[in-house]
Amino acid sequence: MTLIKSISGIRGTVGGPSGENLTPPDVVKFTTAYARLMARRNPGKKLTIVVGRDARISGRMVADLVEGTLLAAGADVIDVGLCTTPGTEMAVIAKGADGGIIITASHNPRQWNALKLLNADGEFLSDAEGRELLALAEESAYDYPAVDGIGHVLAREDFNPEHIRRVLALPAVDAEAVRRCRFKVVVDAVNSVGGIVMPELLHQLGCEVVCLNCSPTGEFAHNPEPLPENLTEISEVIVREKADLGIVVDPDVDRLAFVSEDGSMFVEEYTLVAVADYILSRQPGNTVSNLSSSRALRDVTERYGGRYYASAVGEVNVVARMKEVGAVIGGEGNGGVIYPELHYGRDALVGTALFLTWLARKGMTMIALRATYPSYFASKNKIELTPAIDVDKVLREIKARYSSEQVNDTDGVKIDFAENWVHLRKSNTEPIIRVYTEAKSRDEADALAQRFIGEIKEICKI
């Protein structure tokens, strides 16, 4: 497996040959490069870096390597331990740190891990900073400080309670309205850090909580990506427990999916749509999501008189676009909600609190709320990359074939047809080509995806 280096961080499977996987030398190499980059950004300053991790089984090992390397490079460390990605992002800001490293491979399976790298604003490094870091990592010579210059661990502390407190303190979160509803909620935290924070958040919102896969052992009970095919267990438990809804998070709790009272998927694309509906009802304005996200957000935004904007895929790109257009809410169709009033990062905790506020105020069931939104169906597919596949050639050929249509090549190639769309792009996090489509029926979306998968195979002669 090739080590993946992108705007989403340094990611790979644990073990195997160094330089090809995420091994101890690779962790040290890229952590050192990160420390050097942060030192360039803060000349003459003693750096402070926040380190947090999800609960995957390689996390403690990688965290020890990261911490030791940062100390060796002269940086002080604040260790927030088992902490969500959004919690670690917020901790960077709260502690006045110069950056942060989150040890998580997000939705990837258990054999993966990664270094997600943050700046002093608790946001992911820009593309330019990422390129600079990769160049530093390839430099052969670097002198680490002598013994008197090594860093110190300033604190080992739990930031999760503070994260929950800040979410509940938001003016847009009506905790009392939620408490009055006494929702019964099933939570699937895939045996990672969500099992620590999500039940506690819900308890403080007065919910009755049924925990499913909430032990933070890192032994994922199912494929950790919150897609319908991976969520059959929670659907059965919701029906059996007569729950009002289900909540599913990925291992680092930046993605959020809901399940309705009959066990059907609310659909992760509609997590952001529903939260945006609530925020726009309070404060009309602009919204942003990435090119692979549903048209439903555009429809809801325009209903309130706002304007919808699309960005390239990747949280850093969504955040940059949100700041540019002054968006009041944004995120990604994979269940990532970014609410600037809290911080510029995908956050399942704030997404949950805002969604439950909206559900309580609407006085609706999950099924009834879902029926108020435009009905689109997504088909999310992928093609494993092999040496026979020249991604750039594929995208050039597809773009040329459909030049008469509305084509956006900001990130891969997206073709907007009148009634549907297809987005083809190389993944930032896996060695695959993603083939995403959306249409007004499941069959149409699937058929459109298969049509383009066929075209890609034809171009590549596979």
Phi, psi of 365 (to 5 degrees): -80, 165
Going by C-beta distance under 8 Å and a sequence separation of 6 or more, which residues neighbour residue 164?
197, 200, 201, 204, 349
Strand partners, 102: 52, 116
| Per-position DSSP letters for 194-223, written without gaps between them | HHHHHHHHHHHTT-EEEEES-S-SS--SS-
Q: How far is CA 321 from CA 297, 313, 325, 340, in A?
A: 15, 11, 6, 12
Q: Are the CB atoms for 53 and 81 separated by under 8 Å? A: yes
- Report helix angle 194-204 to 160-168, nearest 10: 40
Q: Please give the Cα distance from 418 to 295 (Å, whole number).
A: 12
Write the Ramachandran bin of 266: left for phi over 0, alpha for psi from -120 to 50, otherwise beta. alpha
Alpha helices in 283-325 (DSSP H): 296-303, 315-325
Strand partners, 258: 247
Is residue 37 helix, strand or coil? Answer: helix
Alpha helices in 257-295 (DSSP H): 269-282
Pairing relation of β-strands 99-103 and 4-6? Answer: unpaired
Q: Are the CB atoms for 238 and 246 separated by under 8 Å? A: yes
**AA letter at 35:** A
Q: Are the CB atoms for 261 and 245 separated by under 8 Å? A: yes
Q: What is the dihedral of CA 197, 198, 200, 204, to 10 degrees?
A: 130
- Report helix angle 24-41 to 127-137, nearest 10: 120
Query: Active-site residues: which are they?
Result: 106
Query: Closest by alpha carbon to 414, among 262, 309, 292?
Result: 292
**AA letter at 258:** F
Place of tokens 């510029």: 344
Q: Where in 265-399 does DSSP place strands (E)? A: 287-290, 308-311, 329-332, 336-338, 377-384
